[in-house]
Structure 1
């Protein structure tokens, strides 16, 4: 007759407990047999747990108790998820977990429930954004869903590794929200901006930002990347801000490496800047540091990305132009190109995108004036000769 694995244990104070020892497989690193000891107040509770562990061990689905925290689960996920990623992309992955680490980071991952994740979502939607010690303000629905997506992937990996029984994040519905509609500049607003920057020391930089280049691409542009005779510029690197440090990275994708033709006004502006920098170098003498970059300050030093964005905002205020972000100038360029009849395949290649459908969906926008043009077209279609 098989020996009962449930042992009756009498403690010194006379109370009774029920204990069992069960094999849970072998350690994958050492190959040694591993055993688990559990103790319960009631015999039926001990037997139920013993049967469960034996059944799941036999099926290979048993998850042993672990004190691994949510922070450790996240760290394990990030190790693989960010491998080979651009520094800026890896930073975005890490930033997505900021609220999770703050609210649940030190919790044992196996104790986290669906309700805990729901509470996390409520926190993010009410006071998840904190800056400079100020009271938290709501995160956008998009940011909350991004965090949920990353956390779901981290927990799913932990389930596959046998660290968690189930993925409780998968039980939480994404937040419903309406994406704010971008409204890039009209052609009239672009003309106002161009008049405002005429004669500005960095006129060529602002023109490049209105040429469809990203901020990092403009600031990473070197004179060696420009051929004024051929009238071309090559996008081969970017200067971006990661963890408050400016670093050099390749373009965002393989298609980001591209050669663009320059229009006559841009060529003139580049030549003017080249001459101006030569004068500045002569006037500064030994104080001139010099650099290979196109966009520099008066001492030849490449400008900081945040300063560049702030300066863009200052120009808009002086010109009394409707406020848009620096990246929205890229949206403006690609939208105006589409409205001018440039094929979407060409616009996508110009922007350095991998897919013209992505360009169409993300960067090409229609405004009220386009609707008015639509009515004119319809009137022509329906006009009876």
Structure 2
């Protein structure tokens, strides 16, 4: 019919196709008019699509077809989400999308459905740890939910920009899982560990870990951060792992920058280590001084936790050595970071106010400290029973 926007295209083979050109609204960046050409094998399909586009354009809900991939959506999200973040934090954000990039990265974002995200979740829970094409085991529910949360945020940006019709990731529920309880030590077990490390070369390092410092904070301490006369130490930097490399970063937050007082046992252990390192320096001679000088040039300062040649120990060695010490002491296995949980829990049981514990730990919020780091164990139930006995005792 006259004025029909759908034109018939006759191919050399004699086959007919149906094409129309339609306005799809102004370019959001330039404001210039945009048109899009659509071609179909059947005229009824062309009519259906034309009516849908006109309706959506009139309502302002039309989204033009786009070849933007999931990888590009993720890259755009990370650009803003990690701006100003620590290098290690940026790496963690990127790592959360590893499985997404493997399974959906090359796909156009507009082609991804809710079912695709559900399949992604199943993959992460069963094979998510796969490396180099080898069969893998599943990721934890916590890590899967972390990925879903960041993927939802990534897909929300193109929705707001009018590049996606809807956020299909928001249609997928988080995984239900049982949070594993933290393994912590009792006061008696801490004493057993302290007796086991008494007098060893790096005793002060293990004491610092038991005083609630993070691994990176312990390994980042330099002698210039310690004032033995004032009995204080400053936490000003960390040595952490980032993409298989050891890097220097500031503490996790502004609250992580803190000055802590030293008790007698810790101060004495620091003095012993300092004397040991001076003796090692004299014995090794120029080899020791050259190594430390080169390190100071790149990283600044002489570190507390070093080997016998003055080189700072590797973070993974430190965690492994902690495990070896536990085995020799006959103690139950806990992760190195769980010593921090142990410390803050014991401080709370000793009656230290939660606000003080939070500041000691370098946290921004005492409620976070209480919820995340303070734990009770079976032995603590005895204390509860004794308290109830006193409360309900009839005199």
TM-score, L = length of structure 1: 0.97
Tell me the residue number matched to 2:94: 94
CA contact (8 A) 1:183 1:365 kept: no
Comparing 277-286 with 301-310, greater Cα deviation is found at: 301-310
CA contact (8 A) 1:183 1:367 kept: no
Tell me the residue number matched to 1:244: 244
Comparing 299-308 with 279-288, greater Cα deviation is found at: 299-308
Comparing 187-196 with 18-27, greater Cα deviation is found at: 18-27
CA shift in 2, pair 1:186/1:134, >3 Å: farther
Distance in structure 1 (CA, Å) of the matches to 2:108 and 2:302: 51
Match of 2:324 among 282, 306, 314: 314
Q: Kindly indicate whether residue 33 of structure 2 is the aligned counterpart of residue 38 of structure 1.
A: no
Q: Kindly indicate whether residue 337 of structure 2 is the aligned counterpart of residue 304 of structure 1.
A: no
3-state SS of the aligned residue for 1:9? Answer: strand
CA shift in 2, pair 1:53/1:202, >3 Å: same
Distance in structure 2 (CA, Å) of the matches to 1:294 and 1:334: 23
Comparing 1-10 with 343-352, greater Cα deviation is found at: 1-10
Q: Kindly indicate whether residue 305 of structure 2 is the aligned counterpart of residue 292 of structure 1.
A: no
3-state SS of the aligned residue for 2:4? Answer: coil
Tell me the residue number matched to 1:186: 186
Distance in structure 2 (CA, Å) of the matches to 1:220 and 1:2: 79
After superposition, give the CA deviation of every residue in 1:155-183 in whole Å (9 maximum; x if it has no partner): 11121122211111111111001100112
3-state SS of the aligned residue for 2:351? Answer: coil
Comparing 322-331 with 45-54, greater Cα deviation is found at: 45-54
1:6 deviates by: 1.5
After superposition, give the CA deviation of every residue in 1:132-177 in whole Å (9 maximum; x if it has no partner): 7652101111111111111111111121122211111111111001
Distance in structure 1 (CA, Å) of the matches to 2:9 and 2:102: 42
Tell me the residue number matched to 1:380: 390
CA contact (8 A) 1:193 1:319 kept: yes
Pairing 1:47-58 to 2, within 5 Å after superposition: 47-58=47-58
3-state SS of the aligned residue for 2:84? Answer: coil
Tell me the residue number matched to 1:341: 351
Tell me the residue number matched to 1:123: 123
1:35 deviates by: 1.2
Unaligned runs of 5+ in 1: none
After superposition, give the CA deviation of every residue in 1:31-69 in whole Å (9 maximum; x if it has no partner): 543210101222232122112222322333221111111
Distance in structure 2 (CA, Å) of the matches to 1:252 and 1:246: 16
After superposition, give the CA deviation of every residue in 1:347-368 in whole Å (9 maximum; x if it has no partner): 0010010111100000000001
Tell me the residue number matched to 1:257: 257
Q: Kindly indicate whether residue 114 of structure 2 is the aligned counterpart of residue 114 of structure 1.
A: yes
Distance in structure 2 (CA, Å) of the matches to 1:59 and 1:41: 28
Tell me the residue number matched to 1:160: 160
Comparing 2-11 with 61-70, greater Cα deviation is found at: 2-11
After superposition, give the CA deviation of every residue in 1:302-334 in whole Å (9 maximum; x if it has no partner): 111111111111111211211111100000000
Moved over 6 A (4+): none
Tell me the residue number matched to 2:216: 216
After superposition, give the CA deviation of every residue in 1:80-135 in whole Å (9 maximum; x if it has no partner): 11111111111111111111111111111111111111111111111111257652
Comparing 68-77 with 346-355, greater Cα deviation is found at: 68-77
CA contact (8 A) 1:238 1:250 kept: yes
1:269 deviates by: 0.4
Distance in structure 1 (CA, Å) of the matches to 2:116 and 2:157: 19
Tell me the residue number matched to 2:82: 82
Q: What is the aligned length?
A: 385
3-state SS of the aligned residue for 2:285? Answer: helix
1:2 deviates by: 7.9
After superposition, give the CA deviation of every residue in 1:174-213 in whole Å (9 maximum; x if it has no partner): 1001100112011111111111111111100000000110
3-state SS of the aligned residue for 2:173? Answer: coil
3-state SS of the aligned residue for 2:212? Answer: coil
Pairing 1:112-151 to 2, within 5 Å after superposition: 112-131=112-131, 134-151=134-151
Comparing 56-65 with 79-88, greater Cα deviation is found at: 56-65
TM-score, L = length of structure 2: 0.94
Distance in structure 2 (CA, Å) of the matches to 1:28 and 1:382: 72
Distance in structure 2 (CA, Å) of the matches to 1:316 and 1:102: 39
After superposition, give the CA deviation of every residue in 1:334-353 in whole Å (9 maximum; x if it has no partner): 00000111111110010010
CA contact (8 A) 1:232 1:261 kept: yes
